[in-house]
Structure 1
């Protein structure tokens, strides 16, 4: 009897927590994530160009138009990468990649709240120093972005987050003012973090 009562009490506590977790109905949500950036490193220059993978901080701000539909703006600060030709470092550059996504959130799984998103990325390349200035890249890139992830609600405000994005970033590479090909970063971004909805 005592075990049964304990089991019922535990079930009630879990049900109560799940019910409370489902009440995340604020219009705004802010998340911070640690994100692993894994670059595709595809190029048509013949130089076997690549930039290094790294872990970066990420901040996003979401606005919910309805419980299902939201817009998310993803931000970080300019990220520095080493540029290599094969195994040889030939320089470095920074990129700033804000991304805006439209999302659909599934709301019928209790505290588990999966979502999908699609949108657009703008990347600004800066501080380009390749082969001592002998080579350069186009400074602006526009491309698509795809996303899948989920929040796990801890209470009416806080949640844990897991997120995967594919972002399409490329740039033209030139040497002596002559275009020598296109370099595609096209990173896969895998992130974990926390969110606060209000």
Structure 2
């Protein structure tokens, strides 16, 4: 049993040594490309929608989650500093009634694209495990927004949004020039909603967490 335990420890140590010796070093001028599943989980906060006279109605909304293909591209300005563009295929979200519409279920849906640019600090660029953190700007554009259920046939529009964003992630070498990536983003997304050409109006704070797991390579 002791021999087997020692052999296991030696095998793990040898594997770590091999990973360290074959690490895909990151340096200035490299372009890192990652692709994987990106999951948007909104932290929705909705004010009371106001009617056309400006009076609160008690109507609120909630926004559902969605998973799509995520892509990001990082250009390494120095060995430690990178600039990343986060992109994805369009996210599709259900809009559910809340407040006085809490029993109405799904009352609409929308699609959005949230391109996000962050400046990142890569903590261990020469290692096999490379954590990084960053901050930047998010732009979110909404489209194909429409009413459903109780609001079927009703015009709904959501204004585009600019806001701050942050990210923390890590790349782990898989060998043969590829690495595993995991990252968590937070974005400040606020939109003004207009229902029925001004019948109801209100601000919705979506402020999602975006979790991405994928694989990447370097050029």
Q: Please, what TM-score do these two structures have when normalized by structure 2?
A: 0.79
Are the aligned partners of 1:102 and 1:118 in contact in 2 as well (CA < 8 Å)? Answer: yes
User: Once the two structures are superposed, what CA deviation does each residue of 1:115-141 show, in whole Å capped at 9, x if it has no partner?
Assistant: 001011111111111224545333311
User: Once the two structures are superposed, what CA deviation does each residue of 1:156-179 show, in whole Å capped at 9, x if it has no partner?
Assistant: 621111101111111112233266
Query: What's the counterpart of residue 121 of structure 2?
Result: 104
Aligned CA distance change for structure 1 residues 191 and 7 (closer, same or farther; 3 Å): closer
Residue 195, structure 1, aligned to residue 216, structure 2: yes
What are the ranges of 5 or more consecutive residues in structure 2 without an aligned counterpart?
A: 50-57
Aligned CA distance change for structure 1 residues 24 and 169 (closer, same or farther; 3 Å): same
Query: Comparing 90-99 with 173-182, which one deviates more in the overlay?
Result: 173-182
Are the aligned partners of 2:179 and 2:216 in contact in 1 as well (CA < 8 Å)? Answer: yes
Picking from 146, 160, 173, the partner of 2:180 is 160
Task: Return the alpha-carbon distance in structure 2 between the equivalents of residues 180 and 89 of structure 1.
Answer: 18
Could you say what secondary structure the match of 1:16 adopts? helix
Query: What's the counterpart of residue 183 of structure 1?
Result: 204
Residue 39, structure 1, aligned to residue 60, structure 2: no
Are the aligned partners of 2:180 and 2:214 in contact in 1 as well (CA < 8 Å)? Answer: yes
Aligned CA distance change for structure 1 residues 133 and 192 (closer, same or farther; 3 Å): same
Alignment of 1:16-95 (within 5 A): 16-25=18-27, 27-44=30-47, 45=49, 46-85=58-97, 86-87=102-103, 88-95=105-112
Calculate the aligned-residue CA RMSD, in Å. 2.6
Aligned CA distance change for structure 1 residues 135 and 183 (closer, same or farther; 3 Å): farther
Aligned CA distance change for structure 1 residues 8 and 136 (closer, same or farther; 3 Å): closer
Q: Please, what TM-score do these two structures have when normalized by structure 1?
A: 0.87
Which runs of 4 or more aligned residues in structure 1 lie more than 3 Å from their structure 2 counterparts after TM superposition? Answer: 2-14, 132-135
Offset of residue 185 of structure 1 = 1.1
Could you say what secondary structure the match of 1:48 adopts? strand
Offset of residue 187 of structure 1 = 0.6
Could you say what secondary structure the match of 2:175 adopts? coil
Could you say what secondary structure the match of 2:133 adopts? strand
Picking from 133, 140, 156, the partner of 1:116 is 133
